[in-house]
């Protein structure tokens, strides 16, 4: 069979593998996106930022408050009003002219500045009319909310890759354990054959001991494989916030995803969709709003205030006791020790820093995609080499095993052929799942997994 034909058949086989398993993995991914504890923490931070934004927007609306005061006072300043000194001489003259007592004598008035009892109950309506701080504070909070949202989506993308990696690591241990079971059967069969050959005086007893020693060595490897199987299973369930011993649904087949886009397209897709870059853009916008805010801090603030309520020495809510007052309050900082100028310079420097960070992050993303692109390509090619090695090693073992049973090959040749075949099969397992893990990393870096993000 020609090499191209063999490769074509292998591709078709790989591409037809495990649609069912892919659905299983996708189910686990969605489960992880719903239940992962770290993701829930980030989502809570995002929800908190939404409430902070609502608080900032609420400052545009009027503020209505009820204010009530009841006072008891004694002493304090006295207002002297000499009404008696001013009017008594006049009243006396008038009484003499009219020969009556029609105009009584008056006492001087002493009016306390503080009433002994007083109440004021009013509703106050405050409406900002012109306040740049409120406007730009809302804009800044909006961009910071976008940062929190992008952080959640970034972790989702990271979590998807982590779940895939954990799943593939678990499947790797499952297939390794299956390989050890198969190898155990081969070694047990070899022990049985050697014991039969020894009973017929065709080999010496050391061959039997050597076969048993090989089995003991394999049992040690099995113990290690079981340990890795349990730990990888526990970590996968940890990501899904499930009990560590929960069963994991698997399939014997394996679906492959091969790179179908050019490197440049992958890099462009990453630049357009990576959440880290989106976060830096939001930080840049927030800083721009902060710069505009600082430039407008020298502008005045204008607020409208309306009070309506009741005043008096007692609680009487009648038309004679009520009052209404409307005010326009202007606040204007004319000099603040050059503080605002310093803030403008700080915001300008921050803008330069963010722009530099964005350019560096963009180049880092391109480099990361490039490295993973070529790593995936290299491992992809290694799969075919491993598969070819497995076919050759298997055929070699079958020939040596047949010769050994017929007494035409030594035990060393048999062990070497069996070890080579086992290593080749192990290499296929490791290479296959390393490829899938590496592709999951590339998928994350190039933003190939669809998260259905709304921006």
Model confidence at 412: pLDDT above 90 = no
Task: For residues 95 and 169, state if they share a domain.
Answer: no
User: Same structural domain for residues 106 and 141?
Assistant: no
The Cα–Cα gap between 38 and 45 comes to 11
The reply to whether 258 and 223 lie within a common domain is yes
Which is higher by pLDDT, 229 or 405?
229
Rg (CA), the chain: 43
Phi, psi angle pair for 285, to nearest 5° = -65, -40
Cα 117 to Cα 229: distance, rounded to the nearest angstrom: 83
Measured at the CA of 197, the angle between CA 192 and CA 203, to 5 degrees, comes to 120
Same domain, 29 and 158: yes
Task: Name, in order, each residue with C-beta under 8 angstroms of 68's C-beta and a sequence gap of 6 or more.
Answer: 119, 120, 121, 122
Mean pLDDT of 127-156: 92
**For residue 286, what pLDDT is reported?**
94
368-371 own/partner pairs: CB under 8 Å, 24+ apart: 368/270, 368/445, 369/263, 369/266, 369/267, 369/270, 369/442, 369/445, 369/446, 370/263, 370/267
Q: Return d(Cα 319, Cα 220) in angstroms, integer.
A: 98
Q: Are residues 290 and 388 in the same domain?
A: yes
Question: Average pLDDT of 121-148?
Answer: 92
CATH code of 26's domain: 1.20.1600.10
Q: Is the pLDDT of residue 105 over 90?
A: no
Q: Report angle CA 322, 325, 328 to the nearest 5 degrees.
A: 165
In a domain, 185, yes or no: yes
Please give the residue that has the higher pLDDT: either 277 or 12. Answer: 277
Tell me what the mean pLDDT of segment 397-402 comes to: 89
Residue-wise pLDDT tens digits, 164-180 = 999 999 999 999 999 99
Regarding whether 101 and 140 lie in a shared domain, the answer is no
Express each pLDDT in 235-283 by its tens digit.
Answer: 999 999 999 999 999 865 555 666 667 889 999 999 999 999 999 999 9
Give the residue among 277, 280, 257 at the shortest CA–CA distance from 269.
277
Residues 251 and 368 in one domain: yes
62 found inside a domain: no
Model confidence at 5: pLDDT above 80 = no
Nearest to 65 by CA among 301, 323, 326, 305: 305
Mean pLDDT, to the nearest integer, of 392-405? 89
Report how far residue 386's alpha carbon sits from residue 269's, in angstroms, rounded to the nearest whole number. Answer: 32
pLDDT for res 22: 62
- Domain limits at 288? 3-35+131-298+333-445
What is the C-alpha to C-alpha distance for residues 226 and 177, in angstroms, rounded to an integer? Answer: 7
How many Å separate Cα 395 from the centre of its chain?
Answer: 51
63 within domain boundaries: no
One domain, residues 109 and 150? no
Q: Are residues 200 and 109 in the same domain?
A: no
Q: Please indicate, yes or no, if residue 308 is contained in any of the structural domains.
A: no
Q: Is residue 165 part of a domain?
A: yes
In a domain, 432, yes or no: yes
**Is residue 282 assigned to a domain?**
yes
Better-predicted residue by pLDDT, 143 or 218:
143
| 15-50 per-position pLDDT tens digit | 444 444 568 899 999 999 999 999 999 999 999 999
Q: Answer yes or no: is pLDDT of 440 > 80.
A: yes
Query: Is residue 429 in some structural domain?
Result: yes
pTM: 0.78
CB atoms within 10 A of CB 298: 14
How many Cα atoms occupy the beta-carbon half-sphere of 181 within 13 Å?
7
DSSP per residue, 394-421: HHHHHHHHHHHHTTSS-HHHHHHHHHHH
Confidence band for 155, pLDDT divided at 50, 70 and 90: very high
The tally of domains found in the chain comes to 2
């Amino acid at each position: 069979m020609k090499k191209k034909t063999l490769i074509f058949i292998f591709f078709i086989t790989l591409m037809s593998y495990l649609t069912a398993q892919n659905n299983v993995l996708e189910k686990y991914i969605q489960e992880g996106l719903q239940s992962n504890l770290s993701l829930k923490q980030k989502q809570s931070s995002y929800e908190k930022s939404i409430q902070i934004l609502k608080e900032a927007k609420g400052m545009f609306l009027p503020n209505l408050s009820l204010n009530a005061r009841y006072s008891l006072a004694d002493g304090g300043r006295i207002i002297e009003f000499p009404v008696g000194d001013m009017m008594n001489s006049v009243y006396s003259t008038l009484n003499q002219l009219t020969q009556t007592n029609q105009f009584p004598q008056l006492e001087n008035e002493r009016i306390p500045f503080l009433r002994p009892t007083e109440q004021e109950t009013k509703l106050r309506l405050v409406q900002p009319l012109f306040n740049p701080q409120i406007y730009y504070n809302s804009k800044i909070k909006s961009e910071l909310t976008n940062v929190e949202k992008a952080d959640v989506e970034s972790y989702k993308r990271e979590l998807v890759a982590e779940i895939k990696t954990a799943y593939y690591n678990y499947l790797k241990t499952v297939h390794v354990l299956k390989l050890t079971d198969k190898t155990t059967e081969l070694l047990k069969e070899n022990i049985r054959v050697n014991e039969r050959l020894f009973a017929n005086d065709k080999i010496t007893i050391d061959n039997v001991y050597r076969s048993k020693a090989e089995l003991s060595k394999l049992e040690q490897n099995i113990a290690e494989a079981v340990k890795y199987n349990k730990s990888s299973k526990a970590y996968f369930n940890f990501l899904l916030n499930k009990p560590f011993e929960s069963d994991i649904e698997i399939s014997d087949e394996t679906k492959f995803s091969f790179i179908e886009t050019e490197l440049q397209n992958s890099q462009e897709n990453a630049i357009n969709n990576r959440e880290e870059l989106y976060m830096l853009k939001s930080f840049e916008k927030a800083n721009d709003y902060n710069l505009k805010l600082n430039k407008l801090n020298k502008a005045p603030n204008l607020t409208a205030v309306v009070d309506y309520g009741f005043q008096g020495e007692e609680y009487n809510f009648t038309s004679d006791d009520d009052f209404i007052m409307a005010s326009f309050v202007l606040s204007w900082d004319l000099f603040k020790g050059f503080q605002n100028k310093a803030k403008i310079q700080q915001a300008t420097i921050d803008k330069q820093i963010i722009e530099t960070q964005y350019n560096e992050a963009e180049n880092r993303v391109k480099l990361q995609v490039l490295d993973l692109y070529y790593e995936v390509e290299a491992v992809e090619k290694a799969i075919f080499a491993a598969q070819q090695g497995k076919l050759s090693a298997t055929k070699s073992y079958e020939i040596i095993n047949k010769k050994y049973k017929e007494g035409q090959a030594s035990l060393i040749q048999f062990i070497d052929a069996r070890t080579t075949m086992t290593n080749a099969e192990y290499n296929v397992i490791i290479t296959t799942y390393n490829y899938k893990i590496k592709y999951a990393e590339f998928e994350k870096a190039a933003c190939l997994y669809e998260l259905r993000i709304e921006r």
